[in-house]
Structure 1
Amino acid sequence: MNKFMTVFLHTFLSKLKAKSFLITTVLFLLFIFIAANISSITSLFDSEGEPEEQTVAVISEDQTIFEQLSERLEIGESNFQVDAVDTSLDMAKESVTEGAYLGVLHITMSNEGLPEATYYTDDMMSMTAEAKLSQELEQIKIAMATNQAGLDQEIISSIYEPMEFNTEQIAAGGTDGGSIKTEEELSGARGLVYVILFLLYFAVISYGNMIATDIANEKTSRVMEILISSSSPVNQMFAKILGVGLLGLTQMALFLGVGYLILVQKQEELVGGFFEVFGLSEISISTFIYAIIFFLLGYFLYATMAAVLGSLVSRTEDVQQMMMPVILLIVAAFMISMIGLSNPGSQFVTISSYIPFFSPMTMFLRAGMLDIPIWEIGLSILILIVTIIGMALIGARIYRGGVLMYGSSTSLKDIKKALQLSKKE
């Protein structure tokens, strides 16, 4: 036990103090800070060289249309205003290029007495003003057309009023299917599923490579020969998996903690945005529990594979090639989960939720977004645990022989050689 703890603490502390880990952590924290304050940062740059209040110049043949347009924009709280100008169209265009106006709106009247408009701007990438002006002028045109036809405006308003359309989920199998998730719960679960899927994907790619590279480095420096004589290879494998796992949890706890503090400080600004979309306050406790369970099981499954494959190579340059099967599996699981977000009840997602290499993502996806029987979740967890135990037992044998292998080794065929070496010990 003392030898296990020695390797465990050495793995954790050495990685924790590594410059690469510290730089990566600082960069991610900086990214979180920038992402949370992106609006404030961009506003600093946007304010340079632009008028403090954006204005669209309007040249109209009918002054009443300009007045109606101005009133509608004020009611709609647009981020720009309109200004009637009494100049030629060419002079107004020149004012736009000089930065005095955001654009020029030229309103003319058709033969039927209805408005037509052309919008001139020097920034075709920002079409927010164009869309808003077009929308408001369309409403003005409808009002004028209905008046000309002698129709009551209230009748027209009722025709264009959106129909009330609600969606309610019914439990599969009638009333025996369990409780029904509300739209708020479904929205919150979707947000948490997004977060956990990305965290698990990041953890497997980053920390799995870290485990494999660490083992390859020890073999390259011949430190492995000293470690084998003082501690069993199995103890080394699980000590490294747990050590890097604790390192990953520490790093992610730091990310989530800083992110949470930023969200709390900017909660009023994010009301209606982040919290409305993700609705984390509406998630049930069971969904959080499933998130932790499937995250940990997924990590241990892929970390065990990474440790075994890392023991087969003797050079760090070969780690990426040997880790390719693990990366392909996690990418496949991630892609299935992304597809499943739009249709979590599909048969394809359901079947993949029982395949251990995919279930950490896909079963959590189903558990978070659907009301499925508890036995399905339990069965998937049981299959995962059995797979991890089986892989750990087989992986320990491969690891025991793999750490004694030196030379070029970039093929999975070397697993057979590693098993043969483990029997000779």
Structure 2
Amino acid sequence: MNKFWIVFSHTFMSKIKAKSFIITTALFLAFIIIMSNIQSIMDIFDQEEVDQVAVVTETDSFYESLDNSLQAAESDIEIVRYNGTLEKAQEQVIDGEYSAVLEITEQEQLPAAVYYTADMSSTSIESTLNQALEQIKTEIATNKAGLDPGTIATIYEPMSFEKEPIVAEGEEGSVKTEEELSGARGLVYVILFLLYFAVIAYGNMIATDIANEKTSRVMEILISSSSPVSQMFAKILGIGSVGLVQMLLYLGVGYIVIQQKQEELVGGFFEFFGLSETSASTFVYAIVFFLLGYFLYATLSAMLGSLVSRTEDVQQLMTPVILLIVVAFMISIFGLSNPSSQFVTIASYIPFFSPMAMFLRVGMLNIPFWEVGLSIAILIITIVILAIVGARVYRGGVLMYGTSTSLKDFKKALQLSKKD
């Protein structure tokens, strides 16, 4: 047990102190802070700028209605009645005096417009003006038709359409409400992306770390002084702890940033992410399936990493693992809109997909506990089998040197593990 903690502490400390870990973590934390304040940063650069649009029109009512509409909407666009020619106004746009030119004409007593700009890639001003003119056109058309504005508002008002669950007798309270589903959906999103990120990032880290030790030949000493299972899980837990520290830093900074923006994010941290109505059991399942999913893929990564002796070969052998997690991720994303489909149900019992698929079903549906228990049992059994097989492959694989980029090397590694 003492040797396990030696390998664990060495793996953990070496990764925590690595410059790549520190730089990557710092950059991502800076990214979180910058993105949470992106609007304030943009306002610093835009506070001096006012979008002035020259309006060329012979109809005073159109200009006045457009100006009133923009002011009522508190738009940042400022329109200026231009008394010169259209060509002259276009020249001033090129010179930078105006952002654009809007020509408004009258067609059958209704407004028609042409928007002239030197920057065709920007559409924000165009969209705002177009929407305002559409409203003006609707008001004029309804007045011509003699329709009451209240009648028009009723026509365009969205129809009341609500969704209510059908609950069988004796099952009251077993069906999740819309608020609970929204909260569960938010938590599922978070766990899906965290598990996807953890498997790809830390799985590669485990495999690369083992390959690096083989390159330095220190592995031959380690494997003779401690059991392969102990050494393999010491590395898995060591790198997993590094990942946990990193994720806690991300979540902690994110929480602090959101807490500082309580006025903008009404309801606080959990309501912002749609988690205020999520049950405690869903959070427990999130932790359970995240940990089981990590151990499953980490064990597989450690086994594959022991087969290669060069870090350049790690990515090639890790491709099957990455493909598995990508497929699991895509199944779960599909299942967010249809969690009760038979396809998702079957996938929730397949070990390499169940950490995501079964958690999706647990979060979105009320399923019997035995189904969740069965999925967890299958996952644990699979992890144990991978640990047993992986330990043998690990013991033989770490003694293999030379080019090794094929899964056929499993057989060779198993043969070497039988030799003392």
TM-score by length of 1: 0.92
TM-superposed deviation, 1:355: 0.7
Alignment CA distance shift 1:221-1:194 (3 Å): same
Give the partner amino acid of 1:193. V
**Cα distance in 1 between the residues matched to 2:277 and 2:118:** 45
1:116 maps to 2:112: yes
Give the partner amino acid of 1:233. P
Query: What is the Cα-based RMSD across aligned positions, in Å?
Result: 2.3
Q: Would you say the 8 A contact 2:265–2:272 is kept in 1? A: no
Q: Which residue of 1 aligns with 2:31?
A: 31
Q: Would you say the 8 A contact 1:211–1:310 is kept in 2? A: yes
Q: Which residue of 2 aligns with 1:336?
A: 331
**Cα distance in 2 between the residues matched to 1:351 and 1:29:** 38
**Cα distance in 2 between the residues matched to 1:151 and 1:20:** 68
Q: Which whole-Å deviations, capped at 9, do the CAs of 1:99-138 have from their partners, x for residues lacking one?
A: 333322221112x222222222222222222222222222
Q: Which residue of 2 aligns with 1:21?
A: 21
Task: Identify the range of structure 1 (364-373 vs 330-339) with the bigger mean alpha-carbon deviation.
Answer: 364-373
Taking the TM superposition and a 5 Å limit, the aligned residue runs for 1:12-411 are 12-46=12-46, 52-110=49-107, 112-170=108-166, 176=171, 179-271=174-266, 278-411=273-406
Alignment CA distance shift 1:70-1:182 (3 Å): farther
TM-superposed deviation, 1:89: 1.6
Q: Would you say the 8 A contact 2:262–2:268 is kept in 1? A: no
**Cα distance in 2 between the residues matched to 1:136 and 1:9:** 64
Q: Would you say the 8 A contact 1:187–1:277 is kept in 2? A: no
**Cα distance in 1 between the residues matched to 2:51 and 2:275:** 36
Q: Percent identity?
A: 69
Question: Of 401, 419, 423, which residue of structure 1 is paired with 2:418?
Answer: 423
Q: Please, which runs of 5 or more residues in structure 2 have no aligned partner?
A: none
Q: Would you say the 8 A contact 2:258–2:269 is kept in 1? A: no
Alignment CA distance shift 1:402-1:336 (3 Å): same
Give the partner amino acid of 1:225. E
Instruction: Give the SS at the match of 2:102.
Output: strand
**Cα distance in 1 between the residues matched to 2:101 and 2:256:** 45
**Cα distance in 2 between the residues matched to 1:177 and 1:335:** 33
Q: Please, which runs of 5 or more residues in structure 1 have no aligned partner?
A: none
TM-superposed deviation, 1:175: 6.1
Task: Identify the range of structure 1 (157-166 vs 9-18) with the bigger mean alpha-carbon deviation.
Answer: 157-166
**Cα distance in 2 between the residues matched to 1:374 and 1:126:** 54
Alignment CA distance shift 1:45-1:330 (3 Å): same
Give the partner amino acid of 1:165. F
Q: Which whole-Å deviations, capped at 9, do the CAs of 1:126-155 have from their partners, x for residues lacking one?
A: 222222222222222222223223333332
**Cα distance in 1 between the residues matched to 2:220 and 2:203:** 23
**Cα distance in 2 between the residues matched to 1:139 and 1:91:** 29
Give the partner amino acid of 2:288. I
Q: Which whole-Å deviations, capped at 9, do the CAs of 1:214-266 have from their partners, x for residues lacking one?
A: 11121221111211232122211111111111111111111111111111112
Instruction: Give the SS at the match of 2:350.
Output: coil
**Cα distance in 2 between the residues matched to 1:78 and 1:208:** 50
Q: Would you say the 8 A contact 1:188–1:277 is kept in 2? A: no
Q: Which residue of 2 aligns with 1:9?
A: 9
TM-superposed deviation, 1:277: 6.6
Instruction: Give the SS at the match of 1:107.
Output: strand
